[in-house]
Structure 1
Amino acid sequence: MVKDTGYYDILGIQPDATPTEIKKAYRRKAMETHPDKHPDDPDAQRKFQDVGEAYQVLSDESLRKRYDEFGKDEAVPQQGFEDANEYFTAIFGGDGFKDWIGEFSLLKELTEATEQTDGENGTDGAATTDETGITKHDGENKLDGSKKITKEQRQKLRDLEEKRREDMMKQVDELATKLNEKINQYILAVNGNHLDEFTRKLDQEIEDLKLESFGLELLYLIARVYKTKANNFIISKKTFGFSKVFTGTRDNARSVKSAYNLLSTGLEAQKSIEELSKVNPEELDQYERVKFESMMAGKALGVMWAMSKFELERKLKEVCNKILNDKSATKKERLAKAKAMLFIADKFSRAKRSPEEAEEARVFEELILGAQEKQNKKHRVL
Structure 2
Amino acid sequence: MIPSTATTEQVKKAYRKLAIKLHPDKNPNDPEGEEKFKQLAAAYQVLSDPTLRHKYNEFGPSTPGLPSQDGIVDPEEVFGGIFGGDRFKDIIGTISIGRDMKEALQKDSEELEKEADGKKSDGNDESITPEQKAAKEAEEQRKEKEKNEQREERVSELVDKLIRKLSIYTESLSTATNESQADEARRGFHEIIRMEAEELKTENYGVELLHAVGFVYLAKSRHYLASNSVFGSLGGMFYAASSSFHTVRETVSTVRAALELKSIFEELAKAEEQGITEERKKQLEDQAAEKGMHALFKGAKLEVESIIREVADRCLYDSDVSKQTQRLRADALAIVGDVYSHVQADPEQKTD
Q: Normalising by structure 2, what TM-score?
A: 0.63
Deviation at 1:264, TM superposition (A): 2.8
1:212 and 2:203 equivalent? yes
**Percentage of identical aligned residues:** 23
CA distance in 1 between counterparts of 2:141 and 2:264 reads 30
CA distance in 1 between counterparts of 2:260 and 2:121 reads 32
Change over 3 Å in CA distance of 1:196–1:231 after alignment to 2:
closer
Deviation at 1:304, TM superposition (A): 1.1
Instruction: Find the counterpart in structure 1 of residue 158 from structure 2.
Output: 175
CA distance in 1 between counterparts of 2:150 and 2:332 reads 27
Give the counterpart letter for 1:96 in structure 2: R
Give the counterpart letter for 2:218 in structure 1: K
Instruction: Find the counterpart in structure 1 of residue 104 from structure 2.
Output: 113
Give the counterpart letter for 1:183 in structure 2: L
CA distance in 2 between counterparts of 1:127 and 1:196 reads 61
> Where in structure 2 are the equivalents of 1:252-331 lying within 5 Å?
252-280=244-272, 284-285=277-278, 288=280, 290-331=282-323
Deviation at 1:88, TM superposition (A): 9.1
Question: How big is each residue's C-alpha offset from its partner over 1:294-340, in whole Å with a ceiling of 9 and x where there is no partner?
Answer: 22211211221121111111111111110111122222221111111
Instruction: Find the counterpart in structure 2 of residue 165 from structure 1.
Output: 148
Instruction: Find the counterpart in structure 1 of residue 194 from structure 2.
Output: 203
Deviation at 1:214, TM superposition (A): 1.4
Unaligned runs of at least 5 residues, structure 1: 1-34, 49-85, 129-135, 140-149, 361-382
Are the aligned partners of 1:107 and 1:307 in contact in 2 as well (CA < 8 Å)?
no
Unaligned runs of at least 5 residues, structure 2: 1-54, 65-75, 128-132
Match for residue 214 of structure 2 among 215, 223, 235: 223
Instruction: Find the counterpart in structure 1 of residue 52 from structure 2.
Output: none
Deviation at 1:118, TM superposition (A): 3.5
CA distance in 1 between counterparts of 2:202 and 2:254 reads 25
CA distance in 2 between counterparts of 1:232 and 1:302 reads 30
Deviation at 1:245, TM superposition (A): 4.4
CA distance in 1 between counterparts of 2:57 and 2:202 reads 20
Deviation at 1:270, TM superposition (A): 1.5
CA distance in 2 between counterparts of 1:219 and 1:309 reads 10
Question: How big is each residue's C-alpha offset from its partner over 1:253-287, in whole Å with a ceiling of 9 and x where there is no partner?
Answer: 443443333333222321222212334499544x6
Give the counterpart letter for 2:155 in structure 1: V
CA distance in 2 between counterparts of 1:211 and 1:185 reads 24
> Where in structure 2 are the equivalents of 1:328-339 lying within 5 Å?
328-339=320-331
Superposed CA RMSD: 3.7
CA distance in 1 between counterparts of 2:121 and 2:102 reads 26
Q: Which moved more, 1:98-107 or 1:200-209?
A: 200-209
Residue aligned with 1:352, SS: coil
Deviation at 1:104, TM superposition (A): 0.5
Q: Whose RCO is larger (CA < 8 A, sep 6+)?
A: 2
Question: How big is each residue's C-alpha offset from its partner over 1:124-143, in whole Å with a ceiling of 9 and x where there is no partner?
Answer: x7499xxxxxxx9649xxxx
Are the aligned partners of 1:173 and 1:319 in contact in 2 as well (CA < 8 Å)?
yes
CA distance in 2 between counterparts of 1:315 and 1:306 reads 14
Match for residue 226 of structure 2 among 235, 245, 254: 235
Give the counterpart letter for 2:232 in structure 1: F
Residue aligned with 1:211, SS: coil
Match for residue 97 of structure 1 among 88, 102, 124: 88
Give the counterpart letter for 1:322 in structure 2: R
CA distance in 1 between counterparts of 2:164 and 2:218 reads 18
Q: Normalising by structure 1, what TM-score?
A: 0.59
Change over 3 Å in CA distance of 1:349–1:256 after alignment to 2:
closer
Change over 3 Å in CA distance of 1:263–1:89 after alignment to 2:
closer
CA distance in 1 between counterparts of 2:105 and 2:79 reads 20
CA distance in 1 between counterparts of 2:313 and 2:89 reads 19
> Where in structure 2 are the equivalents of 1:54-69 lying within 5 Å?
none
Question: How big is each residue's C-alpha offset from its partner over 1:160-195, in whole Å with a ceiling of 9 and x where there is no partner?
Answer: 332222111111111111111111112345545355
Change over 3 Å in CA distance of 1:158–1:297 after alignment to 2:
farther
Are the aligned partners of 1:324 and 1:337 in contact in 2 as well (CA < 8 Å)?
yes
Give the counterpart letter for 2:164 in structure 1: E
Are the aligned partners of 2:91 and 2:158 in contact in 1 as well (CA < 8 Å)?
yes
Deviation at 1:101, TM superposition (A): 0.6
Are the aligned partners of 2:264 and 2:287 in contact in 1 as well (CA < 8 Å)?
no
Deviation at 1:37, TM superposition (A): 9.2
Change over 3 Å in CA distance of 1:275–1:151 after alignment to 2:
farther
CA distance in 1 between counterparts of 2:97 and 2:80 reads 17
Are the aligned partners of 1:206 and 1:351 in contact in 2 as well (CA < 8 Å)?
yes
